[in-house]
Structure 1
Amino acid sequence: MNQASQTSRPTHKPRPWVDLLVSIVIPSLILMKLSGDEYLGNTWALVIGLAFPLGWGLFELIRYRKYNFIAVLGVISVGLTGGIGLMELGPQWLAIKEAAVPLLIGLAVLVSTRTSYPLVRTLLYNPSVLDVDKIQQALVEHQAVAEFEQRLLNASYLFSGTFFFSSAMNYILAKWIVTSPAGTQAFNEELGQMTLVSYPMIAIPSMIMMIGIFYYLWRTIRRLTGYTLEEVMSPHLHQHHDQSNGDQPSSK
């Protein structure tokens, strides 16, 4: 009976970018853009913003029996931002909060290296992106498992470094831009301005660093297994690529 229920339960597939969008990006945009009195207001913006990570986290828990770390982080982030506005705390608390969230993620990445599920594996080295089984088999054949694990650990340290960079930059930007009392229209406008400025100053450099980490990981895989990137792409990505090519009309 118990085995049947486990068999019927759908398999959980990591969806880190969907997690980030639903749990952090959308709620943050709601708080920053729709919390003015002419839109939702502070209270309803907080309630609706919290509904996204809460709903997504409950969906993952009920459907897959797994806790969603990013959804929990989203609830904390949205709750803190909304709470600062509702309680009309000083803008220095926003700077602390903006620095605290990426700092906590960076620390979580470091802590996860001591567990059997490092966050780098979830985000970059996972079956939805790479053919992990094929890579692992080649590593075993080349007796390079230990070296690869060390490289993966190095990637985790670099990955956590991107969040520490974001933490420091978030604090500097928040202190520089957001100076009005929380709960005011000026506070919301400055929050929106900070979001716009943070994209070129924080998001793009962090994205470049992430691409650099993935390149470091791929170069390691290439050197230790001899496979090209196309050869270690996830099988479902290969199928999608083949179907796309098959749909193209013949030149004859």
Structure 2
Amino acid sequence: MSQTEKKKSSGFLVNLLFNIVIPTLILSKLSEEHQLGPVWALVAALAFPVGFGLWELQQSKKVNFLSVLGVISVLLTGGMSLLQLDPAYIAIKEAAVPGLIAVIVLVSQRSKYPLVKKILLNDELLDLAKLDACLKANSAEQLFAAKLQNCAYLVAGAFTLSSVLNYGLAKYLLVSAPGTPAFNEELAQMTAMSYPVIVLPVTVVLMVAIFYLFSQIGKVTGESLESFLRQ
């Protein structure tokens, strides 16, 4: 296994640990009154994904729109839970965040900074300067833009799917009153199930979009994809 592959694998496991495993264990095992209690268990559980998200932002030295949105989403969930709002509001929030991303993906296609390009075209993987030069040399910029538009529909569809699944999962699981151990247990279940129920299907759709775009690079430029990959 290469150093890059090890780094990606380590990053994925750490992400899983701080965003799902630890919060789930705290909410499900430490919410009783004789332990942390429902309020402090919720605060402790939320501290891990928020802290990890802020640490990632600090490490990267640049603002990542999706990371910022993830931190805001966790803070909203925690705030609504601590304020003991009706679980229906949390379900709406769970649907609103990916739904907002889907809208931004489509709207940004009409701007100079399409979000789908940021999501799918990674400068660490592809030599984007070389790709742009090749597109210009072949007068294929508009054709490639049309391919990116198709990807935008796929990515927006992935986040729309996430919106629907988020809402359904929250409505199904969050039935107890906030501020109780039962509610924390349900929140733990929702956190644990979010990966197989939501993340995996959305990841599949995003992988389809990436596969489609990479296959089109060769067709549009007349060169192999490997020629644009960074060594």
Q: Please, what TM-score do these two structures have when normalized by structure 1?
A: 0.73
1:147 Cα deviation after fit: 0.7
Deviates more, 1:139-148 or 1:115-124: 115-124
1:186 Cα deviation after fit: 1.7
Partner in structure 2 of residue 247 of structure 1: none
Distance in 2 (alpha carbons) for counterparts of 1:33 and 1:122: 34
Partner in structure 2 of residue 75 of structure 1: 71
Distance in 1 (alpha carbons) for counterparts of 2:224 and 2:167: 40
Question: For residues 234-245 of structure 1, what are the structure 2 equivalents within 5 Å?
Answer: 235=230, 238=231
The letter of the residue matching 2:134 is: A
Question: Relative to 1, partners in 2 of residues 1:30 and 1:90: Cα closer, same or farther, differing over 3 Å?
Answer: farther
Match of 1:198 among 177, 194, 197: 194
The letter of the residue matching 2:170 is: A
Note the residue ranges of structure 1 that are not aligned, 5 or more in a row: 1-14, 239-252
Distance in 2 (alpha carbons) for counterparts of 1:79 and 1:156: 28
Note the residue ranges of structure 2 that are not aligned, 5 or more in a row: 1-7
1:201 Cα deviation after fit: 2.8
Quick check: which has more Rg, 1 or 2? 1
Match of 2:108 among 97, 105, 112: 112
2:111 aligns to what SS in structure 1?
Answer: coil
Deviates more, 1:66-75 or 1:138-147: 66-75
Q: Please, what TM-score do these two structures have when normalized by structure 2?
A: 0.79
Higher relative contact order (CA 8 A, sep 6+): 2
Match of 2:26 among 12, 20, 34: 34
Distance in 2 (alpha carbons) for counterparts of 1:28 and 1:143: 46
Question: Relative to 1, partners in 2 of residues 1:78 and 1:165: Cα closer, same or farther, differing over 3 Å?
Answer: same
Contact 1:178-1:191 at 8 Å conserved across structures: yes
> Sequence identity, in percent?
40
Partner in structure 1 of residue 222 of structure 2: 226
| RMSD over aligned Cα atoms | 2.7
1:153 matches 2:149:
yes
Aligned length: 213
1:103 matches 2:95:
no
Question: Relative to 1, partners in 2 of residues 1:75 and 1:178: Cα closer, same or farther, differing over 3 Å?
Answer: same
Contact 1:27-1:78 at 8 Å conserved across structures: no
Distance in 1 (alpha carbons) for counterparts of 2:41 and 2:163: 28
Distance in 1 (alpha carbons) for counterparts of 2:164 and 2:225: 34
